[in-house]
């Protein structure tokens, strides 16, 4: 549990007193608030602070601002400035003392406390026993930060709090990329948005129409662009596979190859012929990049090679037209498998995992997770500074 930030004596030089219902008092710095929030930059402007007398300064008085949170019991929470005289004295506001008695949910005040903590890079008071409780606290912070125009000041703290959930978080992102992408955009979290975008594009055709529609407009545009680019990359890959000839059957012109030279590679050519027939049939059936899973199942077979496709049972149909001795079948199988190994190198990049989700072959996602994401793909990359006034940790 994080320490009681409101009663900390760490900031003895504070010039700002913030009072919340229930007698919660914070002794902080107006300059920190101004740097963290566009709202507080105006609300706590330098010319609005008390002008302290020379005597007050000699006595070590620093207090120039006091703001009290009121209206929480009616749902109309707002900060009200209090007058401070030249000696740094402010008349007590007694109605704040008991206003919390059962009327104001503690969690609302907890969100204010966490926002203030993030201003000072202090440990947040987040209920982290599971992802749901951590997300609840983080959402409360973000909602508050949006109201006070200080998202930039809290996003790193929120990001860290959620990332501490580790694989639980990344699994949730893989299952609910739409919701996480929208949330990541709100807090400008590169790590969460990157994983969300990879999963979104990977399962783009698997998503329902209402899921597409629930994406924020900038995210939708990015997803559509990345999906189209990814489709073109997969199409180019398939063309390279279809046009691939093993080096084992290629002949340099200087060798002046004749019929016997090519005849010696008959099993390799037959293997190539069978592979291309199978590959073309899958394209015609829409199992490739046109499939709802973006070709994941098709590419997965290619990446496994061996008996994953065109196994002995499937080859029997081929041998009905092109019978061979058992030894011939074995040689043919070896040449076909050698070609499959070369194809594996082509599809290996598609099997890469560029998310932070850890998985094995038996529990991998049912879509491709190899999408490359750069900073230019973040929705906020061209709009830095919209939600806040920059970092407060200068």
Whether the predicted pLDDT of 105 surpasses 70: no
Judged on CB neighbours under 10 Å (0-12, 13-18, 19+), 327 is exposed
Q: What are phi and psi of 69, to 5 degrees?
A: -85, 120
Give residue-wise pLDDT tens across range 175-216.
999 999 999 999 999 999 999 999 999 999 999 999 999 999
pLDDT bin (cut points 50, 70, 90) of residue 151 is: very high
Whether the predicted pLDDT of 90 surpasses 90: no
pLDDT, the chain, mean = 89
Q: Cα angle at 97 between 93 and 102, to 5 degrees?
A: 140
pLDDT bin (cut points 50, 70, 90) of residue 8 is: low
H/E stretch holding 240 reads helix 217-242
Nearest to 196 by CA among 214, 171, 173: 173
CB 88, CB 127: distance < 8 Å: no
β-pair type (65-70, 24-28): unpaired
pLDDT at position 251 is: 87
DSSP string, 91-141: ---GGGSSTTTTTS-HHHHHHHHHHHHHHTTPPP----SSHHHHHHHHHHH
H/E stretch holding 326 reads helix 326-347
Cβ-Cβ contacts under 8 Å for 20 (sequence gap 6 or more): 6, 26, 68, 69, 96, 109, 112, 113
Q: Which has more pLDDT, 210 or 108? A: 210
Give residue-wise pLDDT tens across range 315-338.
999 999 999 999 999 999 999 999
Buried residues in 132-152 as b, exposed as e (16+ CB within 10 A): eebbebbebbbebbeebbbbb
Q: Which has more pLDDT, 50 or 11? A: 50
Q: Give the span between the Cα atoms of 100 and 102, in whole angstroms.
A: 6
pLDDT bin (cut points 50, 70, 90) of residue 73 is: confident
Percent of the chain with pLDDT over 70: 91
pLDDT at position 89 is: 86
β-pair type (78-81, 65-70): antiparallel
pLDDT at position 97 is: 43
Q: What are phi and psi of 353, to 5 degrees?
A: -115, 105
pLDDT at position 33 is: 96
Q: Cα angle at 78 between 74 and 80, to 5 degrees?
A: 120
Whether the predicted pLDDT of 114 surpasses 80: yes
pLDDT bin (cut points 50, 70, 90) of residue 387 is: very low
Query: Would you mind telling me the total number of residues written for the chain in this entry?
Result: 394
Q: Give the span between the Cα atoms of 64 and 244, in whole angstroms.
A: 76
pLDDT at position 389 is: 34
Whether the predicted pLDDT of 100 surpasses 50: no
pLDDT bin (cut points 50, 70, 90) of residue 257 is: confident
pLDDT at position 246 is: 93
Whether the predicted pLDDT of 168 surpasses 80: yes
Percent of the chain with pLDDT over 90: 74
pLDDT at position 10 is: 66
Nearest to 2 by CA among 163, 121, 126: 126
CB 387, CB 154: distance < 8 Å: no
- Give the mean model confidence (pLDDT) for residues 140-162: 93
Whether the predicted pLDDT of 364 surpasses 80: yes
Whether the predicted pLDDT of 96 surpasses 80: no
pLDDT at position 255 is: 82
pLDDT at position 98 is: 45
- Give the mean model confidence (pLDDT) for residues 268-272: 95
pLDDT at position 390 is: 35
- Give the mean model confidence (pLDDT) for residues 259-270: 91
Q: Give the span between the Cα atoms of 300 and 293, in whole angstroms.
A: 11
pLDDT at position 361 is: 84
pLDDT at position 126 is: 92
- Cα distance from N-terminal residue to C-terminal residue, the chain: 27
Judged on CB neighbours under 10 Å (0-12, 13-18, 19+), 189 is buried
């Amino acid at each position: 549990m994080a320490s009681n930030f409101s009663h900390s004596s760490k900031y003895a030089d504070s010039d700002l007193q913030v009072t919340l219902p229930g007698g919660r008092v914070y002794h902080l710095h107006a300059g920190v608030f101004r740097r963290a929030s566009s709202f507080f930059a105006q609300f706590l402007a330098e010319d609005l602070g008390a002008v302290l007398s020379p005597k007050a300064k000699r006595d070590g008085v620093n207090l120039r601002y006091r703001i009290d949170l009121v209206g929480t019991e009616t749902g109309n929470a707002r900060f009200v400035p209090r007058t401070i005289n030249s000696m740094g004295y402010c008349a007590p506001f007694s109605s704040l003392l008991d206003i919390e008695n059962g009327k104001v949910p503690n969690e609302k005040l907890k969100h204010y406390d966490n926002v203030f903590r993030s201003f000072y890079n202090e440990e947040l008071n987040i209920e982290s026993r599971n992802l749901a409780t951590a997300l609840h606290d983080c959402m409360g912070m973000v909602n508050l930060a949006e109201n006070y125009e200080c998202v930039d000041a809290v996003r790193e703290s929120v990001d860290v709090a959620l990332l501490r959930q580790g694989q639980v978080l990344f699994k949730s992102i893989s299952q609910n990329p739409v919701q996480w992408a929208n949330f990541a955009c709100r807090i400008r979290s590169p790590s969460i948005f990157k994983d969300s975008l990879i999963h979104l594009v990977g399962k783009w055709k698997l998503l329902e129409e209402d899921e597409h529609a629930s994406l924020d407009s900038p995210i939708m545009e990015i997803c559509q662009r990345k999906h189209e680019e990814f489709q073109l990359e997969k199409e180019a890959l398939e063309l390279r596979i279809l046009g691939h000839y093993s080096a084992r059957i290629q002949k340099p012109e200087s060798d002046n190859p004749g019929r016997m030279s090519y005849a010696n590679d008959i099993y390799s050519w037959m293997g190539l012929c069978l592979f291309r027939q199978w590959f073309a049939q899958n394209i015609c059936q829409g199992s490739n990049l046109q499939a709802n899973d973006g070709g994941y199942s098709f590419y997965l077979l290619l990446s496994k090679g061996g008996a994953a496709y065109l196994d002995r049972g499937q080859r029997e149909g081929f041998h009905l037209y092109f019978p061979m001795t058992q030894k011939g079948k074995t040689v043919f199988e070896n040449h076909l498998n050698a070609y499959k190994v070369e194809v594996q190198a082509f599809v290996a990049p598609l099997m890469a995992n560029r998310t932070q989700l850890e998985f094995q072959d038996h529990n991998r996602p049912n879509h491709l997770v190899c999408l490359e994401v750069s900073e230019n793909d973040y929705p906020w990359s061209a709009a830095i500074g919209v939600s806040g006034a920059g970092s407060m940790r200068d």
